[in-house]
Amino acid sequence: MTSWISEYKYSWLEKIAINVIKCGNIPNHIAIIMDGNRRFARSNNIEKIDGHTKGFDKLAECLKWSLDIGIKEVTAFAFSIENFKRSDKEIEDLMTLATYKFEEFLQENDKLKENGVRLRVIGDLSLLPPKLQVVVSKAVLETEENDKLFLNIAFAYTFRNELISTVQKIIENNDSHTCEINEELIGSCLQLQSTPDLLLRTSGENRLSDFLMWQLSSSTLYFTNILWPQVNIWNFLAGILHYQLITSNSSDMRPNLKVPLSQNSQHMLATINAAKKKDLILMSQNG
């Protein structure tokens, strides 16, 4: 196991609860807004950054639980573009923590490969310090072939920012005006293609805060008052149970299958994706 996937040891009661929950419908993809780290720090008389570090450890526990429950994809909101408005000290500390964690990720690569973890980082990486850009892009490229647990970290992300840059890219690549601008094209150009089945947000805030606004349109939402670092497996299972209760009472609310992209749009998408990959490789070589 690794620092990214905790070595959580289950009690016998927790094992039974997991087996019971696994008899129901398990969300394929969960999205998490990890909120409440600073309130946790304040109430425990520790530094803000220690609250964020505990928050990272909780993410590693959630990844272990997700692997064992059979959840295939986890998308976690780690840093919003709005968070750049925080104090210089907190931003610097968070960037240092993230750089350290992604360095660890690279060192643990063999073990992450064994667990089939594929990392993607969504957001505007150009806003990050150069050293963090290098480790993040290396970590993403290193795990490209893995396919058991898809881990998406939203870092320097807001949906509005992503939508603007997506539309800009489409306009740049559509100079002959041959591609129809429609839902399928915009959706296919976003960084995250899959839609979460369940969104979990902690700390009593009932908002989406510009997280995956496109992808969450039909997801089940679960809000809990618990602060993120305090989440335990029972809170996590309660979120899944909520999903099971909601989905057992409703027909499939997810959008219908996509209309296929036209040939011109497919060509444009391939060009945009090739440029993204090239940028990532260049970023990884800057260190």
Which residue out of 63, 128, 149, 198 is catalytically annotated?
149
Instruction: Name the pairing type of β-strands 73-80 and 29-33.
Output: parallel
Distance CA 2, CA 18 (A): 22
Distance CA 154, CA 33 (A): 10
Q: Minimal CB distance to Mg ion: which residue?
A: 35
Which CB atom, from 79 or from 236, has the smaller least distance to ligand FPP?
79
Say which entry of Mg ion, ligand FPP, none residue 98 contacts (CB below 5 to 8 A, set by partner kind).
ligand FPP
Shortest Cβ 222–ligand FPP spacing (Å): 17
Q: Minimal CB distance to ligand FPP: which residue?
A: 55
Distance CA 77, CA 122 (A): 9
The residues pairing with 220 across neighbouring beta strands, listed in sequence order, are: 198
The residues pairing with 222 across neighbouring beta strands, listed in sequence order, are: 200
Is 35 an active-site residue? Answer: yes
- Crossing angle of helices 48-69 and 88-107, in 10° steps, is 40
Which CB atom, from 6 or from 83, has the smaller least distance to ligand FPP?
83
CA dist 235 to 8, 135, 221, 245, Å? 15, 32, 14, 15
Which CB atom, from 101 or from 170, has the smaller least distance to ligand FPP?
101
**H/E element holding 156?**
strand 149-157
Which residue out of 35, 185, 192, 212 is catalytically annotated?
35
Which CB atom, from 191 or from 203, has the smaller least distance to ligand FPP?
203
Is 52 an active-site residue? Answer: yes
Say which entry of ligand FPP, Mg ion, none residue 101 contacts (CB below 5 to 8 A, set by partner kind).
ligand FPP
Contact call for residues 271 and 52 (beta carbons, < 8 A) = no
Sign of the four-CA dihedral 255, 31, 135, 115: negative
Shortest Cβ 184–ligand FPP spacing (Å): 31
Token pair, residue 171, equals: 């306009």
What is the binding site for ligand FPP (CB under 6 A)?
34-39, 52, 55-56, 59, 78-79, 83, 97-98, 101, 153, 203
Say which entry of Mg ion, ligand FPP, none residue 173 contacts (CB below 5 to 8 A, set by partner kind).
none
Residue 162 touching Mg ion (CB under 5 A): no
Residue 35 touching Mg ion (CB under 5 A): yes
Q: Which listed range, 35-43, 71-79, 178-186, 227-235, lies at the site for Mg ion (CB under 5 A)?
A: 35-43
Which CB atom, from 99 or from 166, has the smaller least distance to ligand FPP?
99
Distance CA 92, CA 140 (A): 22
Q: Could you list the residues that contact Mg ion (CB under 5 A)?
A: 35
Please list the active-site residues. Answer: 35, 52, 149
